[in-house]
Chain A
Amino acid sequence: MNYEQHDNLLLADWTFEGSLLSSAADAEIAQLEALLDQVYELATAHQVEAVLWIQKVAYSDFHFGWLEELTHTLLRDDLRWRLARLYRIRRLIQECPVPWFYLTEKSCLGTLVELMFACHRRFVFETETWFGCPELSIGQLPALGWLATQIQRKQKLLDLWQRQVIWKAEEAVEFGLVDAALSWKDWRLVLLPWAQRQIDGWEQESRAHRRGGASLGKPLHQLWTERAVPVLARSHVQSYLGRTNRRSEAALGVDAELIDSAAHFMCQPAYEAWLRRGVQQGAKSSQRSTPDLIYLDITESLVPITMVAHLLDAGHRLCFVAEKAELLRQNLELSLSQIEARYRRHPLQMFDKKISWYVGVTPKHPLYPTIRFGSFRDVHFLYQGVHIHGWALTAQSMERQVLEIPESQGTAAPLLDFLFQAVYGVRSPSTWVPLLYLVKSLALQVLLQFGRTTGQALPGLFEQLRGLGWTLLGSERHWQRFLDYRQSLVKQLNLGLPTHLGRLELDPELLLVYQWRSLYEAGQSRKSSPEQKGPGWLHHYLSSFCLELSQELVAAGWIRSSHEADLYVADAMGYPEVWGTPSTFARRMGTRRHFFSDLHEELVQT
């Protein structure tokens, strides 16, 4: 708490991080008292006309230090004394001869909020902020007496306050708790002249209306809804409201009943448990809710639109990076037109403050999470010291984005949670070859096998697959890319690729096919058996292959559980979307397991 005088204004900063209830706040409370003494002195000498109180840090009672103190060292009398001092401060602010203007850009929840309400005018310069008394949700009345006074006047207000314990800035304006919530960023530059105008406005208004701080502007007919106060809540609120002698106590200046019962209530295990939960959630939510900055490197290929939209929806800020300006421009145009199609409004208007870009190279150890997609859907995730290299299983256009990472990096998988719908830790036979590659090779082989045995050409099969909903397997472009990748992989690694997946052998001839044309030739029909062809059979054949494959993956120890293997196969093969989620598909595969035991031998033979 610092304060300084500017002409007829007293500027006070609130910079204390921690809970006002903890012993760490004692110095702060003493400073507040000193400030109040000075304000009263200056105000009687007409040397100050207003106090500007600026809250510079977010306030909440969910503070680890306070929890520790409450658990281990707190004495109830100390707490009661602290509350009494705060109560007096609140009253002095409220009855101050000069107006107090409260300005903030940060949220204010808990004890401090009553001091805020006691100020005569309250302004918020950031609309993404929250105000209120979360402790009301367990039935604890804030102990500084502002709300208690309100409730004494109209007991029905309690319902209203308990129905919604925290408000967003705009709701708080509607409710009359905050005079204005503006997203006016450069208010600090014009703070002093603005405050002068506020003082002028203040003097024009009659003081009688304003005294008493915030008043509740909601009409009473909205308050009829009865909502049961939780049992715990009754103990404090009702014990307070049930007292008969509180008037005489209030005459002393401090509502001793309120403070005694509040201090008592805070020493109960229920309050402690609530505080602990709040601290834990707060620790989590402060990580989650502050929108992170995420860098997307689009030098090699675009980031899937699903992921971008997902991140934007979660409130993250995005920065696109590419090495060359021209490359960045092209990829940005593509990405943003995709976003535009998705959100039906211009993304640069909608996400003006969320999306940015720069031309440059991704550093090796970036400060913020950075994700880069490569040619065959390989993904690099860089974050401070962490580097995860994996393969995205599904196509870029798909809603469900899943990732395969080597099992050795599995511990880092939780980092990727916010990016992907699922992450599989897979023990791949070789560190450089993804399991996905083997699965795709095998799928291609199975398709060719089916074509040969039924006498159908590959293009026909693809058409049937698309009709059935196996869009990924039915996409010729997909297979072309796969062949390209395989060629580059063989060149890069100089052979040494695995030739079988468990007991399922890979066709060595087919592994050397890199040309689309020769793939067609390899799929030429050799014999025809017309009784077993058609889409139904194809689907039947493929799903039993999936089943077989997932069993093999578990048996070979590449994936741990059979359910995970089912899901993996469903994602890697591009499950038909029309049939539901991959877990639906996996469940069906799981239920089929019993009935298709006869197919097992048949497949191993092929």
Chain B
Amino acid sequence: MYAYETDFRIDGSIRRPAQTQLDKGVQRARALDSLLLSRMHGLSHKPELLLYASADGQRPSFSPLFSRTTLLNSLSDLWNSVLKEPRTSACYAQIVDETPSPQETARTALELSLLKVKPFDLGAFEQLLESQEQVYQPEEAEMVFVDPLSRFIAVDSQRRRRGDSFPLIEKQKRHLLLVEAYLQPDPSNELREQSLSYRRLHGRDCVVGDFRRGLQGLSELFRVWDQWLGERSLHTSSFERIFVYSHIKGLLPGCWEELRSRGVAPDQVRLPQWAGYANALSSYWEFLLADSARTAFLFVAGNGRCHFADCSRGLPQAREKGAVP
């Protein structure tokens, strides 16, 4: 069982440009480069490691600027590269342009079977979904893309609102999600003093019963979570935001029931993949970059190998004194 506790400084953003109906490969490569370059420009020293994740695994063309480059395929890749090598500053860039395998028949079947196992209060869950609209919207990004004929296309929010240049976008309502960040584990003391971007992260794995067999694991998972929080004298109410991610949407109503029974309000919960443009990695980064004092992350995997983490922000001393909420 893998448990970790680490301090680091993180600075980054999550942005959401409208997706153009153009050649995806070119766009993705360009967007990945522009993400990286915008981050590199603002930095004061050169990061050694480039972490990137992109649906097609295409390496950014500016990756030779870094001494090492790593492609992240899953959350465990991220932990391996970030937590096991704590003295490397890293740049991170990711593009998410599709939901995690929505049309998979096996998944639909699993979701249906999960719903059969235990009837949920779907009314309460719909209420949660309604509140999701207000919980979190990443800022809209302006970008310049190249279409297959190498013409440039500026995509910005104003233009799109007028709807004159890209009527298609309004119709399709599809977005890319761009995540970029700069991660510096073990920040030096002067950095700690000046930055609120300093975080402390706790996390651990938790293996419960396989969800393909039934939902018994769910209550066990939350029991372990309670216990883990209790050890550090925390409670669900001490989190400003709780990110719940599961590849299987059918598990979410169950999670919500458990959370609701612990007195969690709907606007405290964020279901990243419900918005349609997220995957496990990006929602973990969303959790790391969240603009809240204390956040929690729950990763509910179909095979029962779950993970939870929580992240508190600000100076350690100040946090102890209670100066930072």
Interface residues of A (CB under 8 A from B): 185-186, 189, 291, 293, 295, 317, 319, 321, 324-326, 328-329, 332-333, 346, 348, 352-353, 356-360, 362-363, 365-368, 370, 384
Q: What residues of chain A lie closer than 8 Å to B154, measured between beta carbons?
A: 325-326, 328-329
Instruction: Give Cα A71 to B302, complex, Å.
Output: 64
Q: Which of B43-51, B212-220, B249-257, B269-277 contacts A (4 or more CB under 8 A)?
A: B43-51
Instruction: Give Cα A72 to B205, complex, Å.
Output: 55
B159 touches A326 (CB 8 A): yes
B155 touches A325 (CB 8 A): yes
With A293-B62, A325-B155, A328-B154 known as contacts, the answer to whether A367 contacts B45 (CB < 8 A) is yes
CB distance from B202 to the nearest CB of A (A): 30
Q: What are 26 A-B contacts defined by CB distance under 8 Å?
A: A186-B57, A189-B57, A291-B64, A293-B37, A319-B41, A325-B142, A325-B143, A325-B159, A326-B159, A329-B153, A332-B152, A346-B150, A353-B61, A356-B30, A356-B62, A357-B37, A357-B144, A358-B37, A360-B41, A363-B41, A365-B44, A367-B40, A368-B40, A368-B41, A370-B41, A384-B44
Q: What residues of chain A lie closer than 8 Å to B57, measured between beta carbons?
A: 186, 189
CB distance from B116 to the nearest CB of A (A): 39
Closest 7 CB pairs of A and B: A325-B142, A358-B34, A329-B154, A325-B154, A325-B156, A353-B61, A356-B33
Q: What residues of chain A lie closer than 8 Å to B61, measured between beta carbons?
A: 352-353, 356
Q: What residues of chain A lie closer than 8 Å to B34, measured between beta carbons?
A: 356-359
CB distance from B94 to the nearest CB of A (A): 16
Q: What residues of chain A lie closer than 8 Å to B30, measured between beta carbons?
A: 356
Instruction: Give Cα A365 to B159, complex, Å.
Output: 31
Chain B: interface size category: 20 to 34
> Which chain B residues numbered 18 to 37 have a C-beta less than 8 Å away from chain A?
30, 33-35, 37
Judge whether B38 is part of the interface by a CB distance below 8 angstroms.
yes
CB distance from B60 to the nearest CB of A (A): 9
Chain B interface SS verdict (over half) = mixed
B44 touches A367 (CB 8 A): yes
Instruction: Give Cα A332 to B151, complex, Å.
Output: 10
Judge whether B169 is part of the interface by a CB distance below 8 angstroms.
no
Instruction: Give Cα A317 to B159, complex, Å.
Output: 30
Instruction: Give Cα A137 to B43, complex, Å.
Output: 42
- A360 is contacted by which of B38, B45, B64, B155 (Cβ under 8 Å)? B38
A319 touches B37 (CB 8 A): yes
B150 touches A359 (CB 8 A): no
Q: What residues of chain B lie closer than 8 Å to A359, measured between beta carbons?
A: 34, 141-144, 156
- Per-position contact with A for B128-154: 1 when CB-CB < 8 Å, else 0? 000000000000011110100010111
Q: Which residue on chain A has the smallest CB distance to residue B37?
A: A319
CB distance from A593 to the nearest CB of B (A): 48
Judge whether B265 is part of the interface by a CB distance below 8 angstroms.
no
Q: What residues of chain A lie closer than 8 Å to B64, measured between beta carbons?
A: 291
CB distance from B235 to the nearest CB of A (A): 40
Q: What residues of chain B lie closer than 8 Å to A295, measured between beta carbons?
A: 37, 41
Judge whether B59 is part of the interface by a CB distance below 8 angstroms.
yes
Instruction: Give Cα A380 to B165, complex, Å.
Output: 35
Judge whether B124 is part of the interface by a CB distance below 8 angstroms.
no
- A186 is contacted by which of B38, B40, B59, B146 (Cβ under 8 Å)? B59
A363 touches B42 (CB 8 A): yes
Instruction: Give Cα A518 to B44, complex, Å.
Output: 51
- Per-position contact with A for B37-77: 1 when CB-CB < 8 Å, else 0? 11011111110000000000101011011000001000000
- B40 is contacted by which of A293, A346, A348 (Cβ under 8 Å)? A293
Q: Which residue on chain B has the smallest CB distance to residue A105?
A: B64
Instruction: Give Cα A360 to B141, complex, Å.
Output: 10
Q: Which residue on chain A has the smallest CB distance to residue B68?
A: A56
B150 touches A348 (CB 8 A): yes
B41 touches A326 (CB 8 A): no
Instruction: Give Cα A360 to B39, complex, Å.
Output: 10
Instruction: Give Cα A185 to B60, complex, Å.
Output: 10
Instruction: Give Cα A601 to B298, complex, Å.
Output: 88
Q: What residues of chain B lie closer than 8 Å to A326, measured between beta carbons?
A: 154, 156, 159
A317 touches B71 (CB 8 A): no
A324 touches B156 (CB 8 A): yes
A324 touches B37 (CB 8 A): no
Q: What residues of chain B lie closer than 8 Å to A357, measured between beta carbons?
A: 34, 37, 144
B30, B64, B156, most chain A CB atoms within 10 A: B64
